[in-house]
Amino acid sequence: MPDLLRKPFGTHGKVHEITPQSAGWRYVGFSLYRLREGETAGEATGDREVILVMVEGKARFAAAGKDWGELGERMNVFEKTPPHCLYVPNGEEWKATATTDCVIAVCSAPGRGGHEARRIGPDGITLTERGKGTNTRYINNIAMENEDYCDSLLVTEVFTPAGHWSSFPSHRHDEDDYPRITYLEETYYHRLDPAEGFGIQRVYTDDLQLNETMAVSDGDVVLVPKGHHPCGAPYGFGMYYLNVMAGPLRKWRFVPAPEVEWIMKRDA
């Protein structure tokens, strides 16, 4: 069984660290810090570009030789307000000092240089509805392909209401054949409301050589190396996830699963 479901390895400090090496792929990295007020975290970016996402709480940031001040506004991710984020290019360093208890996501992918560090959001990020019926969910796009300040990273937040599906109709982006489809590795950082709840994520290929269905808890990360990857939020439990995608081309093009293609045509 592939090791696609990653549980946090603690409740304090760095609780996730997913690298291309540990994931068995080439592009996406994802780490998560849970800090108490007054604590610090920091890293050198090396050969990777980074987007720091303030999932919850507030922190002061220094990065790329500049003081960025305090970032963060929402104290609970399910407030659904736009996040405060910071882009840090490769070859730089960043440091965060928590001014409240906070959760900081570190999204990374190969960087080529030529971009400056910059704030992302909350201005310019608007919660957008997507889908129909019980496929409706709400998106905060942080850095998708229409933004030109990244080399590799694609980052977005998704809020799925209780009883709804998300990343559905099932689709895959696991071939490098642009413009039909692009190869993008992906991580899902899941949160549940209430936190004691659970969600469902399936990862499967058309030939079912990969066919895993996982119960995700609050704080889990799911790896999507290939295949389709729909999520379900049971009645009573809202679902949030932070997506990180990267591949050889910074474009998001996908192919639907054959069994759901009719839904996409109907709802287009």
Asked if the peptide bond before residue 194 counts as cis, ω within 30 degrees of 0, the response is: yes
For residue 239, the model assigns a pLDDT of: 98
CA distance 149 to 236: 38
| 47, two tokens | 């050969």
CA distance 13 to 121: 25
- Residue 19 vs residue 266, higher pLDDT: 19
* pLDDT confidence band for 35 (50 / 70 / 90): very high
CA dihedral (203, 205, 210, 212) in degrees, to 10, reads: 30
CA distance 155 to 128: 15
Q: Which CATH number fits domain 5-267: 2.60.120.10, 3.40.1350.10, 3.30.1130.10, 3.30.30.60?
A: 2.60.120.10
Domain ranges of the chain: 5-267
For residue 268, the model assigns a pLDDT of: 62
| 42, two tokens | 């920091």
Percent of the chain with pLDDT over 90: 93
The whole-number average pLDDT for the span 1-20 is 93
Q: Are 242 and 189 in contact (CB under 8 A)?
A: yes
CA dihedral (254, 257, 258, 261) in degrees, to 10, reads: -70
pLDDT tens-digit series, residues 208-256: 999 999 999 999 999 999 999 999 999 999 999 999 999 999 999 999 9
> Could you tell me the pTM of the whole model?
0.97
Q: Which residues lie closer than 8 Å to 75 by C-beta, 6 or more apart?
A: 56, 57, 100
Q: What angle do CA 111, 52, 100 make, to 5 degrees?
A: 160
With a cut of 90, say whether residue 1 has pLDDT above it: no
Closest to 51 (Cα-Cα) out of 109, 130, 112: 109
pLDDT tens-digit series, residues 137-163: 999 999 999 888 899 999 999 999 999
For residue 9, the model assigns a pLDDT of: 95
| 238, two tokens | 């809202």
| 64, two tokens | 């790329």
| 128, two tokens | 């957008």
